[in-house]
Structure 1
Amino acid sequence: MLVPMPSEPSGQTPPASSLPGPSLPTPLPAIAALPAYVPGARGDAAVPPIKLSSNESPDGPLPSVTAALADAGGLIHRYPDMAASELTARIAAHIGREPAHVVAGAGSVAVLAHLLQAYAGEGDEVLFAWRSFEAYPILTRIAGATPVTVPLTADARHDVEAMAAAVTDRTRVAMLCSPNNPTGPALTTAEFEAFMAAVPTRVLVILDEAYLEYVTDPDVVDGPAALDRHPNLVLLRTFSKAYGLASLRVGYAVGPEALIAPVRACVTPFSVSGPAQSAAIASLEAGDELVERAHTVVAERERVLAALRADGWSIPDSQGNFVWLAVGEDTGALVAHLGGQQPSILVRPFAGEGVRVTVGSPRENDALLAALARWQGRTG
């Protein structure tokens, strides 16, 4: 039955709060309670900052990638290849697997979401170290599962023994971040194999290798080789970091066909755009140039680490394109200090824990080192 609105004197409008109306839709409680993902600060476009907050490549796209994007721009009125077939085949060849072992998506975060959609839900547990990549608990909750976190060791590494002990009958997925974002250490083969030996094969293990291209430690686990030993393992990788395609959103997972097929069923159709597919293919074809760029970043990382340690900073080993400053309760003050430089230096804070700083260009890194030296002088 429709109830007419009460009449109002001509020319008068009742206050909004007095108007009757239906209640609004409400989200599921688990979604309403989600913490917000905090991206790296962007700063004021009018006064460009030194942006070391998002683990981006300090270099622009390669000329061959720019050319591929220009060519793809003439086809944006067409839908892309829904399955990213050519890109998937190129990735498979790059890693030495079959195309059926690869699934691509709109960034590794999206692919991880699809993995959790396929393998975890209400009543299940998803295990990971903490602190680690902040999307892990958010995506776990969105999937309907319960996050189970295990603290890092004192030297900011995965505590694989404690993680294995935390596996229960409800554990469906375990996520390993190597190198660990935001602290930097990568899993050694010994650590990884100890964990895999202790975890039932019914548990899907995801090895997140977003920063793989910056790894130089020969003891770090070799993901593709590990696939041959472990039927419950999936690798997660991205084109956003070393390949410099952060804005285009391309990531992928690699694993046994039986594990990948359900993930492919969850991928949003056409989620990897045509230009993104073209740029990723061009990037794979420019492998030597990209390796050279990664080596340049690694050299800067080692220079920054050495300079900071010489200045008294205690910093965990980093195998990514970033360093971790565990300043605890001084996090806010350090961020404010760096933000007050000219130009301002943007970093990624984790309140009460520390600051992650991306390795930038030599000029940017010099500015960072000078600002941190001033901080040390002020607080020492």
Structure 2
Amino acid sequence: MNDPQASLSWQDNDTVHTARWRSESGWPAPRRVVIADDTTPADTAYRLACEGTALLWHGDFQNARQLLQALMRRVDRKPAKPSKQRKPASLTEAFHLHRQAQAQRARTLAMLLIPLDADYGISLRRAPDLREACREAYGEPHAQASVASLRELLGLVGAHEWRKKGVEIPALDARIHPHYGVFSPVRGEYVDLVAQAPLPAKTLAFDIGTGTGVLAALLAKRGVQRVIGTDQDARALACARDNIQRLGLSRQVEILEADLFPAGRAPLIVCNPPWLPGKPSSALEHAVYDPDSRMLRGFLAGLAEHLAPGGEGWLILSDFAEHLGLRSRESLLGWIADAGLAVRDRLDIRPRHGKARDADDPLHAARSAEVTSLWRLVAKD
């Protein structure tokens, strides 16, 4: 989501400096920038960040990390007195307020900036070498200095470590290595559904929106002779190909760039689209939010014409959006019927993640009721 033309300008000792602006969240470059260092008080930094003034760090790198932690404590500090604001009238309103608060929190914490050399090196005291993590996320460096938020850079480091370590997938008996910007398969419910559902055939399967390639790999492990995984995101395509190669499945699984379906028909077509209708605000959120349910509706609308006779389409979808009032079950069933499809069966599973049991989560009522389903869809006769 970086704009290669975006730049950030600031003044230091009467000299105007300019560098490339980097933001994976797609935020515009801050208009106001001040120099901050080890002498900058946390309260001052917090006030400036809340006002939309960015702090370009010229001090010790580890002190910048401590300042970021201090900003986080201030952002997350609960008021001394209970808030008199009215409670949300519905889960839908609670969801939108939650997203708004999370966006404001992220924007405030993103105001602490770190300068990067042209090769992604950081010329600050006690700065770690983040060049490999930056190359994985940003691509090969160009002959231009840049600036990014410390919070984003720390996210790059976390993604780099996840990529090296990988995520254990019990159904695969192997690890999947997510790349930066590609949603990690940390929620195993949908993987378990695909591992358990009865296969209609083992000759060919399409995995639409393959992401890390985890479902394509799982289908191949289950004995499907040929699997074609599609995606249109460059990071996802590179990630899926890497994982398929690591798993030794390159002869069975082919990864293609495509908007939804590849050419031809298959007896099994699998899709795990983003579960929530809405606008993503970062690269990772593209795996969570589907504007106007574009991918979901596109998959359903094109499924019948890509299914081989007697074939099945597996739609893996959580009903979290239904509990939030963002999409109704009637709408989903209507889209299925309008696409000339019928429901052969549905497999359900409850979430196992911690938030489903966290009563303090503002969306707990929806999370605790959530069910993830694998809809076995067939073309109507």
TM score, norm. by length of structure 1: 0.31
| More strand as a share of residues | 2
Q: Which has the higher contact order (CA 8 A, sep 6+)?
A: 1
TM score, norm. by length of structure 2: 0.30
